[in-house]
Amino acid sequence: MRKIVILTGAGMSAESGIATFRGSGGMWNNYPVEQVATPEGFAANPGLVLQFYNERRAELLGAEPNEGHRLVADLEKNNDVVVVTQNVDDLHERAGSTNVIHLHGELMKGCSSFAPNDPRMVRTLTAQHPVIALGDKADDGSQLRPFIVWFGEAVPRMDDAIAALRDIDIFVIIGTSLNVYPAAGLLNFVPADVPVYLIDPNDVQVRGVRQVTTIRKGASEGMRDLLKLIG
């Protein structure tokens, strides 16, 4: 059984209607990152930050996994698959992927403002109750906040992602510009003899001298082509 690690970014969920944060029409064009994606922004205006992520959750609840998500999940039938995602949505899980490492947090969860990475304080939100309001408390008494890794915060699951790259047979990159670190640096931990495939409709610049097979297509069409290549 082959071990496959798949790194996914915003382009993975674009076909599901989830707005990307960068690029034309990206989320950061409408909301200054400093206001809604930093600890300082939350401290200055927690109501605005909570509203922003409540809106993102409403958007997510109206979305469905696309064919690309489903094809990634289908790989588990005959392979050992780990999905490492920069996305905070739950579309991989809803498509059937069972081993997903979320580098930047999970939109459908809340956590402590005092200790965001304390697993005892993490609360899963539901479709029936997806809103975090001012005054909602974590178990430690602090304001409940989105379980999101904001700019300036450590990426607690980076070590898990690096560990997943040991003894792999195939590494796949889908829908990411490879501009966001530390996630973009994962390619440096892929063993030299492991084939790397990159699926993205845009021209993604891969730093270094590594040989990468590029599929210039969106997530769903690109995954169909990948399956033909790797069997």
Tell me if 5 sits within 8 A of 84, measured CB to CB.
Answer: yes
Q: Please report which residue ranges of the chain form alpha helices under DSSP H.
A: 10-14, 33-36, 39-44, 46-61, 67-74, 91-95, 158-164, 219-230
Q: Are residues 14 and 27 in the same domain?
A: no
The neighbour count for residue 160, using CB atoms within 10 Å, is 14
Q: Are residues 75 and 14 in the same domain?
A: yes
Residue 207 has a pLDDT of 72
Q: Which domain holds residue 199?
A: 1-18+66-104+154-231
Domain's final residue, options 148, 172, 201: 148
Q: Are residues 78 and 185 in the same domain?
A: yes
Q: Are residues 24 and 85 in the same domain?
A: no
Tell me if 180 sits within 8 A of 86, measured CB to CB.
Answer: yes
pTM: 0.92
Q: Are residues 42 and 86 in the same domain?
A: no
Q: Are residues 14 and 113 in the same domain?
A: no
| φ/ψ of residue 109, rounded to 5 | -135, 155
Q: Are residues 56 and 4 in the same domain?
A: no
Q: Are residues 8 and 29 in the same domain?
A: no
Token readout for 211 is 């040989």
Number of domains in the chain: 2
Of 18, 8, 225, nearest to 101 by C-alpha is 8
Measured at the alpha carbon of residue 24, what is the angle toward residues 20 and 28, in degrees to the nearest 5? 55
Domain's final residue, options 148, 178, 208: 148
Domain CATH code at residue 10: 3.40.50.1220
Domain CATH code at residue 52: 3.30.1600.10
Q: Are residues 219 and 120 in the same domain?
A: no
Quickly count helices (H) and strands (E) in the chain: 8, 9
d(CA 41, CA 43) in angstroms, rounded, equals 5
d(CA 94, CA 175) in angstroms, rounded, equals 18
pLDDT tens, per residue, the chain with 231 residues = 999 999 999 999 999 998 765 444 444 456 778 889 999 999 999 999 999 999 999 999 999 999 999 999 999 999 999 999 999 999 999 999 999 999 999 999 999 999 999 999 999 999 999 999 999 999 999 999 999 999 999 999 999 999 999 999 999 999 987 776 777 789 889 999 999 999 999 888 777 667 899 999 999 999 999 999 998
| Interhelix angle 219-230/67-74, nearest 10 degrees | 30
Domain's final residue, options 148, 179, 214: 148
Q: Are residues 129 and 37 in the same domain?
A: yes
Residue 21 has a pLDDT of 56
Q: Are residues 160 and 53 in the same domain?
A: no
Active-site positions read 104
Q: Are residues 226 and 178 in the same domain?
A: yes
